A and B are shown apart, each in its own frame.
Chain A
Amino acid sequence: MGINVIKPGMLTTVQDLGRFGFQKYGMITSGAMDKLALRLGNLLLGNEEDTPALECTSIGPSLLFLEQQLICVTGADLSPAIDQQPIPMWKPVVVPAGALLTFGKPKKGWRAYLCFYGGLNVPKVLGSASTYLRGAIGGWQGRALQKGDQLSFCKAWPQESSSFKWRMASSCYRGLDNKIIRVIAGPQHALFDSDSQQRLTAGLFTISSNSDRMGYRLESAKLYLREKKELLSSATTFGTIQVPPDGQPIVLMADHPTTGGYPIIAQVATVDLPLMAQLPPGAKIQFALITMKEAQSLWRAQENELHKLKLSLALKYGE
């Protein structure tokens, strides 16, 4: 029972909110690139926020449902449909047994999250169901989905059929049209020459096609240190913007190595990581510098919105 993978899509992996507590052993955290979309998808189904779901990249999979299930699609709009009928995102949808869920043209964003009521039944490795592709660790057999895979659910959706007349308030998820990414100055920001510091916020940066879950390479005017300096390796994190000697910055994403030795010019604010994760190759962005305190209060505001949503959902599912 569960789902049968008819087409795997471009890169479809099982992800939750990541594998934490083992970075001191070099273990990559992985987890959803757009954690907010995953959390919202799960909340809308009444799940725990970190329930394992599918991250579907650009070209989504085709999945045959072997049993009825309640799903919710969030994040990028990759034209989800059930038996060729488009379905709405950001709300629970019942998929009947025998139905085929497909994705079509990517309309907006790069990563859709397909969440299932109760979640996917995959074993946890070091406390997480997330897939770390390079290490072949976690998720579904440590790899992306392939044709013929059959994944089971943790729970069945018990109700005959249901219609959900509500959908999520849009204030919880920023529109993907925004191309301004807010960043905090990094530990080595002051070591860059003043032209480079200016270019960081004045210039346009293009997401290179050589970008993946590990990092986004950016094409831009080059950024240079005042004087060459070899740094000792130190820890990095999701959103760290490091600059190798070629002057082209790299934004570290969900599968980033735990440590690195390149100078860090800036760090993406946590609230803007979802937006970053949804940028397709070729997208042009601009950085805006904010303070650490501003980034934290934006984060707090986001969590307050989510808390309100949780309360109203508890009423809907709790009845």
Chain B
Amino acid sequence: MNKPESVSYYPLGDAAVVAVFSEAISEQVNHRIRLVGAGLDKLENPAILEYVPAFTTITVYYNPLSIDFAGVVEQIQRIVTALPEEIHFSSANKVIPIWYDGPDLDEVMDYTGLSKEEVVRLHSDNEYIVYMIGFAPGFAYLGGMDSRLSTPRKPTPRLKIEPGSVGIAGAQTGIYPIETPGGWQIIGKTPVRLFDSTKEIPSFLAAGDRLRFDPISKAEYLRMKGADYGD
């Protein structure tokens, strides 16, 4: 295992610090970032307001009236220094049922030369890791898709993608939590609600989670969706 790269820090305006852990995405970097987040949670320092983990960075928002840039960097660096060199992390395992019946399934089959069964098998046989949440509430950037499924985005984005739609964009796959325009190739949909603002933790997925897709039938989809399927 390579020794972790050192962390560099730069300001994002007058109230945020960006800590950069690496130039490249990796599971190890993702774990380190996740542990730094957990360390920040434990600080309970009212001057450190919140943080956003991303692929290779964690951005920490602070109140400059109570702490300065150097003070925040010192707090983060103290957590970084205490990290073990090699990290073994237990991640939450989540399962997302999908009814593979998306409007772009044919386009994905055409582009990849795979049958429907192969697309479903390759998409649901893999374990994925949630690298970060961003773009929209509860939207997870997933790593780990089989490269044989790679399909370019649609040339013209759809104006409306319904919540729960599962899509492919290039080498990425992901799920749309709220209704939004988007250019991903939609291959299926999940009855799981990925973002619920009435919950204390509103997002079903969090950075660092591992997840699998579980193929389900139309009947199962409708049953799981409950009373909501009347559309």
Q: What is A's interface to B at a CB cutoff of 8 Å?
A: 20-28, 125-126, 134-138, 184, 186-187, 232-237, 239-240, 257-260, 264, 267-270, 292, 295-296, 299-300, 303
Contact string against A for B residues 113-147, beta-carbon threshold 8 Å, 1 for contact and 0 otherwise: 00000000000000000001111111101000000
Closest chain A CB from B225 CB (angstroms)? 19
**Residue of A24, A136, A137, A257 with most chain B CB atoms under a 10 A cut-off:** A24
Closest chain B CB from A290 CB (angstroms)? 9
* The residue from B12, B135, B203 contacting A264, defined by CB atoms under 8 A apart: B12
B14-22, B95-103, B153-161 - the one binding chain A = B14-22
Nearest B residue to A232 via CB reads B55
Say yes or no for B52: interface residue by CB 8 A criterion: yes
Closest chain A CB from B9 CB (angstroms)? 10
How many residues of chain B have a CB within 8 Å of chain A?
45
Contacts of B139 in A (CB 8 A): 26
Closest chain B CB from A169 CB (angstroms)? 21
* The residue from A125, A234, A267 contacting B198, defined by CB atoms under 8 A apart: A125
A-B contacts at CB below 8 angstroms, number: 138
Inter-chain CA distance A260–B18, complex, in Å, is 13
20 A-B contacts (beta carbon < 8 Å):
A23-B61, A24-B53, A24-B207, A25-B195, A26-B134, A26-B137, A26-B139, A126-B202, A134-B180, A233-B55, A233-B135, A233-B141, A234-B54, A240-B12, A240-B13, A259-B52, A267-B13, A270-B15, A292-B13, A295-B14
Contacts of B64 in A (CB 8 A): 296, 299-300
Closest chain A CB from B57 CB (angstroms)? 5
Say yes or no for B11: interface residue by CB 8 A criterion: yes
B68 touches A24 (CB 8 A): no
Closest chain A CB from B131 CB (angstroms)? 9
A25 touches B202 (CB 8 A): yes
B12 touches A138 (CB 8 A): no
A28 touches B54 (CB 8 A): no
Say yes or no for B173: interface residue by CB 8 A criterion: no
Nearest A residue to B141 via CB reads A233
Closest chain B CB from A101 CB (angstroms)? 31
Contacts of A20 in B (CB 8 A): 49-50
Inter-chain CA distance A234–B65, complex, in Å, is 25
* The residue from B11, B15, B137 contacting A25, defined by CB atoms under 8 A apart: B137
B135 touches A26 (CB 8 A): yes
Inter-chain CA distance A264–B198, complex, in Å, is 33
Known contacts A24-B133, A235-B59; is-contact A296 B14 (Cβ 8 Å): yes
Known: A25-B138, A125-B198. 11 other contacts (CB 8 A): A23-B61, A24-B52, A26-B133, A27-B203, A134-B136, A184-B14, A233-B132, A237-B16, A239-B13, A296-B68, A299-B64
Closest chain A CB from B204 CB (angstroms)? 9
Say yes or no for B76: interface residue by CB 8 A criterion: no
A24 touches B50 (CB 8 A): yes
B57 touches A234 (CB 8 A): yes
Nearest B residue to A188 via CB reads B10
* The residue from B10, B16, B25, B137 contacting A235, defined by CB atoms under 8 A apart: B16
Contacts of B2 in A (CB 8 A): none
Inter-chain CA distance A54–B113, complex, in Å, is 54
B50 touches A21 (CB 8 A): yes
**Residue of B15, B177, B178 with most chain A CB atoms under a 10 A cut-off:** B15
A234 touches B18 (CB 8 A): yes
**Residue of A267, A300, A303 with most chain B CB atoms under a 10 A cut-off:** A267
Closest chain B CB from A275 CB (angstroms)? 15
Inter-chain CA distance A77–B141, complex, in Å, is 43
Contacts of B141 in A (CB 8 A): 233
Say yes or no for B215: interface residue by CB 8 A criterion: no
B135 touches A232 (CB 8 A): no
Known contacts A20-B50, A186-B12, A235-B12; is-contact A26 B136 (Cβ 8 Å): yes
Known contacts A25-B202, A259-B52; is-contact A303 B138 (Cβ 8 Å): no
**Residue of B11, B49, B68, B195 with most chain A CB atoms under a 10 A cut-off:** B11
B12 touches A267 (CB 8 A): yes
Nearest B residue to A126 via CB reads B197
A237 touches B137 (CB 8 A): no
* The residue from B16, B56, B134, B202 contacting A259, defined by CB atoms under 8 A apart: B134
Nearest B residue to A267 via CB reads B13
B65 touches A299 (CB 8 A): yes
Inter-chain CA distance A270–B180, complex, in Å, is 30
Contacts of B177 in A (CB 8 A): 26
Contacts of A232 in B (CB 8 A): 25, 54-57
B65 touches A303 (CB 8 A): yes
B180 touches A27 (CB 8 A): no
Known contacts A235-B18, A235-B59, A303-B65; is-contact A257 B37 (Cβ 8 Å): no
Say yes or no for B206: interface residue by CB 8 A criterion: yes
Closest chain A CB from B77 CB (angstroms)? 18
Contacts of B134 in A (CB 8 A): 26, 233, 235, 257-260
